[in-house]
Chains A and B, each alone.
Chain A
Amino acid sequence: MIDAAAAIRLSLESALVATLLGLPLAVALGYALARVPFRGKAIVSAAVVGPLVLPPVVTGLLLLRLLGRQAPLGRLLDAVGLPVPFTLLGVIVAALVVGLPLFVAAARGAFEAIDPRYEEVSWTLGVSPWRTFLTVTLPLALPGLLAGAVLAFARALGEFGATVVLAGNMEGRTRTIALAVYALLDLPEGDAAMEELVGVSLLLALGAMVGYEALSRWQRRRLELDRVDQGAGRAAR
């Protein structure tokens, strides 16, 4: 009745797509929040963090209101053949929205940790800001961005509340690992399949934690090493 393999595949696919879609958003928002002074920064910052502190079911209801048929945006998406409620796209949107705060926070932290002088030197050498961003800033922030991606991916895998309200709990269409475990709780004979999914969840979570830790360390070591190099350079002068 409940296909565990399908749930695992659906979870991995939707979390992966949500993470890939989140990457440009997280880079843009993270960089803007870290480097660019603009009016209303506090509001943008708070809005991005919102889904982290809102109960996911509330996030789901708000998304349903925004992207459902009762809303102009929802009707537009429906008209162009991208209906969000009750579809895989709904699962992805829910995963993206709840994972984005972690992604943006990690990206912002990664950009803030980079010494702005590297970028300034690059500009004074006549390299355009855009190329500077691509060749100096982005590579330096890469481990931090990847760590954020791992966090967002893991959060997307665990998403339940927003998904069940926005996308429903439909076998092979929107039933992710979390939703499948919940459905199995309702079946007296569901224990065996549940063990399998719980095991997979634990393994994925463990993998994500190890990955996050390794990437965070890489980021720290890279920036620390940079600082050591700087110190050595100064000493040599």
Chain B
Amino acid sequence: MPHGSATTSALRPAHRPPTWGREQPAAPGRRLLGLALLALAAAPSSVHADKPVTSPADRPAPAPAVPAAPAFPAPPAHAGKPAPRPPTAADAVPVKPPLVIAAAASLTELLPQLGRMAGMAKAPVFRFDATPRIARQIETGAATDLVFSADNEWMDHLARAGKIVPGTRVDLLGNSLVVVVPRMSRTAPRNPSELTADSIERLALAGETVPAGRYARAALASTGVWAKVKGKVVSGDSVRTALAWVARSEASAAIVYATDARVEPRVKVAFVFDAHSHPPIVYSGAVVKGAAQPEEARRFLEFFRSRPAQALIEAAGFSTLSGAAPR
């Protein structure tokens, strides 16, 4: 990718109609921390932005085990541009505020790594939560530069409400749906029809209102087993509750995202649902209307297309979208 010349329009355009994604509750501590940081970031500051975003000196080293990162492109258009806020006397030393990013909780591990790799002048501030809650925060005007949604329905909702910058929305990565069983379990279903077996006493799903729950129900319906397993389905609020029940052997199996299965050592993957058995699971990002740093936000979205970013996404268990990566 030539530095500084790529534009978001070159990315795969976001498709509208499908309405799915995922979410889980964020760790409460993280959430509080995020809020505290957000409060700091939102506090009136004398900050403005004349400094080019990156220079090789202040760029942190890229994450290990990943090919050398191309520089986070610093477009010439931005350098020397007047700051969005009028400068004040206190602005003798211009300091760039960190990028404020609100993102689906399932990206909690991945995004900070990508942020470090992108080599921004200042580490971004993240706010992770379930997509619906992220969307509701942005709807009510929480200061945010960039939003990452696990759910197209909510991105559509934000677009309709005029809360994202038109043309900046891009599909970034995907996830898959798996069946997990307790790690010590001797019998593991090998395909959807084996979920109807008596050895599966309780099948845990995320709630029908959250994307993970909708995908799981769609997958069971399209594979023709929903009517037979319906009676033993137990469901909690989020996909992580379902995961916790299997980890404690209270449920015999659960349908969760591939990336969730990786973070819980007490479960093992029994089988992966065919990608065509459920609506595509697509994560998208967009620049928030009224962002303090729309240019930097846009560049972070572009960074997803770079080869090291794509490698990291795959290493975390997500899938890259065809056409998103430069070949």
Tell me the A residues contacting B by CB distance below 8 Å: 1-2, 64-65, 68-70, 85-86, 164-165, 168-171, 179, 182-188, 190
A164 touches B241 (CB 8 A): yes
Query: Chain A's nearest CB lies how many Å from the CB of B40?
Result: 26
Q: A169-B237, A185-B133 are in contact. Are A86 and B202 (CB under 8 A)?
A: yes
A64 touches B248 (CB 8 A): yes
Can you list 7 A-B pairs, Cβ within 8 angstroms, ordered by A? Answer: A2-B209, A69-B249, A170-B235, A184-B209, A186-B210, A188-B135, A188-B157
Query: Chain A's nearest CB lies how many Å from the CB of B142?
Result: 16
B250 touches A183 (CB 8 A): no
Is B50's CB within 8 Å of the partner chain A? no
B250 touches A85 (CB 8 A): yes
Residue B237 contacts which of A65, A86, A164, A187 (CB distance < 8 angstroms)?
A164
For residue A169, which residues in chain B have a CB less than 8 angstroms away from its CB? 207, 235-237
Residue A182 contacts which of B23, B157, B237 (CB distance < 8 angstroms)?
B237
A168 touches B153 (CB 8 A): no
A168 touches B235 (CB 8 A): yes
Tell me the B residues contacting A by CB distance below 8 Å: 23, 130, 132-133, 135-136, 153-154, 157, 202, 207-210, 234-237, 241, 244, 248-250
For residue A168, which residues in chain B have a CB less than 8 angstroms away from its CB? 234-236, 241
For residue A65, which residues in chain B have a CB less than 8 angstroms away from its CB? 248
A145 to B186, CA, bound (A): 52
Say whether chain A's binding surface is mostly helix, strand, loop, or mixed. loop
Query: Chain B's nearest CB lies how many Å from the CB of A38?
Result: 36
B234 touches A186 (CB 8 A): no
A208 to B135, CA, bound (A): 34
B157 touches A183 (CB 8 A): no
For residue A182, which residues in chain B have a CB less than 8 angstroms away from its CB? 237
A154 to B209, CA, bound (A): 27
B250 touches A185 (CB 8 A): no
